[in-house]
Structure formats: structure tokens, C-alpha cells
Amino acid sequence: MAPPLIQATALRKDHRLGDAIVPALRGVTLTIEAGEFVAIMGPSGSGKSSLLHLLGLLDRPTAGGYRLAGRAVADLCPDNRAQIRAQGIGFIFQAFNLLGRNTAIENVELAMTYAGIPRTERRRRAETALTQIGLGERQHHWPGQLSGGEQQRVAIARVLAAGPRLILADEPTGALDTATGREIMALLQDMNRAGRTIVLVTHDPAVAAYAQRIVRMQDGRIVSDLPAAIDRGAMSMIPQAIACPETTAS
């Protein structure tokens, strides 16, 4: 059997803030199989973004192990991590993160540029992706000329065109209205159905509902990890049963 796509063991992350050390993750163990759609939820400051950054090889853990598709990646050098990001990981952030001086289609091409895909191929895939998300007509617009939802769709097209195995989204709907958020989630769901693994951070239960599995965090730890259907029941019926022992223990 193929190894799990994500296999994190006892991940710790301490942030340094001057002389103080802020623990963001206090030992997170998490396994995600290829093809899953996982939502990470939890209060502000619970370490969701920190975890996502580690999973995306944007950051290095203070301690703990991380295997990506079976390969130990926790201690790779920055350039190797960059290469893996270019070829296998796509990010979608809350703030849309487009380059303001590049047109929509150039922004879509950017990730493929770093993956070393040739220019004509890039252009073709970027056009296809933009058409697919309904922005085919606006590929030469600047980010400033697009609405928030459209910008986020360009960011999704960027991931779509590059075609990474793993997609990490940090509150992708956080800055959008409900209807636009739903459109974005529909696009993510399509990508998941096409076989991509998605890990999504959100505060919004309606957004988390698109996932098959919900991981809840608090104070740098995972406090619950359940299939979406069961999570909904568990949270409505016995919320304290899971949250309380952890908070008192720490």
C-alpha cells in the first residue's frame, strides 16, 4: 500500500518573539491519506496556520517528524523544500496573494514558472484553468481590476493549472461574502473530486462542511479528529467532553 500523503508525528513549533518563546504547536500527530479533504478548525491562536505552514514546507518544525508521500522532509534544505513546493504543493491564502504588477494569467503562470514548465505549455494550462473557473474573459486584467472573489478564483486557477497533489488553503473564504465563499468552495470540492488532497483551515462550519474529515485544534494540540458527519453530531451533543480535559490539563 502507498504511504500516507501526510504523516506528521509529534510536531512542535516554537515561535521566537524577541527573547520570549511562543509555543504554537505542542505536539501534533496527524496522518492524511491521498485524496482526503480535511478541514482544520479551532479558536484563533490555536496553531492552525502554524500547522499548515509546516505541512506546506514553508516552515521547519522545532521538533517532530514529517513524511510527505513517504519521504522524510522535516530537515530538508530551503532549496529542496522550495522544489517540493513548486512541484507538489499549492497554497491558497486568505489575502489573495496575487502579484499586483502581473495580469491574472501571469499570476496563474507564476507557480508553473518555478516548477520549470515551458512557456507555451504554461500559457495553455493557465488559459484552460482560467476558463474553467469562469475568468477566461478577464485573463489580462490586473488584480486591482478584479473583485475579491475573482482574485481568489485567480489564486485557485493558479493551483488548478499547476496541478499539485496537495492543496493547502488558509481561510480561503475568510474575506468573502457567503455566496462567493460557496463558489470558491465548489471549486475546491471539484479539485478534490479530481483526486487532489485538500487541507483547509476555517472558522466557518458551513465551509468545513465541504470536508470529509474535521480536525479540531486548541492551544497547539489536536483535540478532536473525526469524520465530518460524526463531528457535527459530537460537537452539538457533547462539546465539553472533548474540549475540557485538554484545557484543564495544560
Partner 1 sequence: MSMVETIRIAWRAVWANLLRSMLTMLGIIIGVAALITMVAVGTGAQNQIDEQIRSLGANLLTIQPGSLNQGGVRLGTGSRQTLSEADAAAIAEEVPGVVVAAPTISGTVQVVQGNANWSTLAGGITPAYLVARDWRVETGRGFTLDEVDTAAKVVLLGATVVDKLFEDEEPLGQLVRIANVPFTIVGVLGRKGQNAGNGRDQDDVVLVPLSTAKLRVLGSNKVSRNAVDFVMVKVVSDEAIVSAQEQIRRLLRQRHRLAAGAPDDFQIRKPSETMEARAAATRSLTFLLAAIASVSLVVGGISIMNIMLVSVTERTHEIGLRQALGARRRDIRNQFLVEATMLCLLGGVLGVGVGALVAVGIGNLAGWPIWVSPASIALGFAFSGAIGVFFGFYPAHKAALLDPIEALRYE
Ligand X SMILES: Nc1ncnc2c1ncn2[C@@H]1O[C@H](COP(=O)(O)OP(=O)(O)OP(=O)(O)O)[C@@H](O)[C@H]1O
Q: Which residues bind ligand X (CB under 6 A)?
A: 15, 17, 22, 24, 42, 44-50
Task: Give the shortest CB-244-to-partner 1 separation in angstroms.
Answer: 32
Q: Which of 87, 132, 189, 212 binds partner 1 (CB under 8 A)?
A: 87
Task: Give the shortest CB-3-to-partner 1 separation in angstroms.
Answer: 23
Binding mask 190-209 for partner 1 (x = CB under 8 A): --------------------
Of the pair 11, 146, the CB lying nearest Mg ion is at 11
158 within 8 A of 187, measured Cβ to Cβ = no
152 lies in the site for Mg ion, by CB under 5 A: no
Q: Which value, to the nearest 10 degrees, does the dihedral of the CA atoms of residues 235, 238, 242, 244 take?
A: 120
Q: Which of 76, 115, 209, 234 binds partner 1 (CB under 8 A)?
A: 115
Number of residues that bind partner 1 (CB under 8 A): 24
Burial class (CB in 10 A: 0-12, 13-18, 19+), 58: middle
Of the pair 99, 186, the CB lying nearest partner 1 is at 99
Residues sharing a CB contact under 8 Å with residue 79, sequence separation 6 or more, in sequence order: none
